[in-house]
Amino acid sequence: MSINTPDVTRFITQARPEATKQYVMQQTMVRVKDPVKSLEFYCDVLGFSLIMFKEFPQWEFNVYFVAPIEPALIPEDGAWPYQPTGAPLTD
């Protein structure tokens, strides 16, 4: 059985569309089943840091905000000034 790999090279080399050329994606949310396994991937493999997390028992989910930042730059008081990078993980 052979694997049919599509040609995706155009996604690497194409110019950004004029309509969104100045657009900056601030964040994207990823729904996860296992927060610990997900945090191990984002933090241990990709080098992100857990910036903050919050529990929302009334809605039965938690949010874990990770970003590619040095741990020394994370405010101890939890008052995170959101930057244009990062990924909130929710379970």
The structure's pTM equals 0.62
Alpha-helix residue ranges (DSSP H) falling in the chain = 10-13, 35-39
Q: How many angstroms separate the CA atoms of 91 and 87, rounded?
A: 13
Give 10-residue mean pLDDT values along the chain (91 residues).
74 80 77 91 88 88 84 72 58 58
Task: Report pLDDT for 84.
Answer: 45
The H helix count followed by the E strand count for the chain is 2, 4
Task: Report pLDDT for 85.
Answer: 55
Task: Report pLDDT for 91.
Answer: 58
